[in-house]
Amino acid sequence: MRIQIFAAQWGNNELPAPVFIERVKAAGFDGIEMSLPLDAAERDDWVRQIADAGLQLIAAQWETVFHPGFEPHKAALAELLHNCCAAKPVHINCHTGKDYYTPAQNLELLQLADDISRQHGVPIYHEIHRSRFSGHPMLLLPYLQQMPQLQLTADLSHWCCACESLLEDQPQTLAATLPHVRHIHARVGHAQGPQVGDFRAPESQAALQAHLSWWDEIIRLRREAGAERMTITPEFGPVPYTQTLPYTQQEVANAWELNVAMLQLLRQRYA
């Protein structure tokens, strides 16, 4: 099974396409994960430049966060997913629904995404993320029972934060969830937040080892299932995800450097 590691555009949005693409290539990533412009010409220009650089693309849909009402959210989700599919990415990472929508509403959105995925032949994976339909384990599990074909992006740093733990007391939750994972966001969270200051620091080792154990299990399950590839995106984010010192607002770590360091750790671990 091929392990392919992608660079998140998040935190680098100010960089022009040629500059960011060259940065990604120089660091040794296999591709880019990014949200795509709705303007077709701008979208196609990004797609062309990424392909010309020999990189692959994961399309990200998160902009529905700007549409709190259900009907506008649903309309935006359809537009954004069709736009992502037009780029023919490896797959789409989707922020889906809201934790305050009814189960019937969230199921309607999940079914909409499934229909669009089938229409275009592009896999859509739904990210485990706070405030979305999957923001807490007990929110997600009923959907897995009703839609056993549901495929997920594991960003388990969000559950650490939501559950105020490293999920030590929830082996059954993880056992039910991890077989549905097709993509990993490799960020390390802790019991009081979605991102440790620096995963290499001694005080972050317990959190790092917990996340590595989950990623190891996901990789094992995908290999056992005969999957051809597994994708991972190191996703340490900018301020306010990256912590800052009081008063000075100086960042305690650089998000890009953390993502490159995580790339190197993953390459060594899963070679």
Other Cβ atoms less than 10 A from the Cβ of 253: the count is 18
Domain 2-270 bears CATH identifier 3.30.930.10: no
Q: How far is CA 224 from the centre of its chain?
A: 22
Q: What DSSP state is assigned to residue 49?
A: H
DSSP element (H, E) containing 199: none
Query: Averaged in consecutive runs of 10 residues, what is the pLDDT profile of the chain (271 residues)?
Result: 98 97 98 98 98 98 96 98 98 98 98 98 98 97 97 98 97 98 98 97 98 98 98 97 93 96 98 86
At 213 the pLDDT is: 98
Confirm if 33 and 5 have CB atoms less than 8 A apart. no
d(CA 16, CA 9): 11
**End-to-end distance of the chain based on CA atoms, in angstroms?**
10
Determine the pLDDT at residue 155.
98
> Which residues, 6+ apart, have CB-to-CB distance to 152 below 8 Å?
125, 126, 127, 128, 134, 177, 180, 181, 182, 183
**What was the pLDDT predicted at 271?**
86
* Contact yes or no for 194/187 (Cβ under 8 A): yes
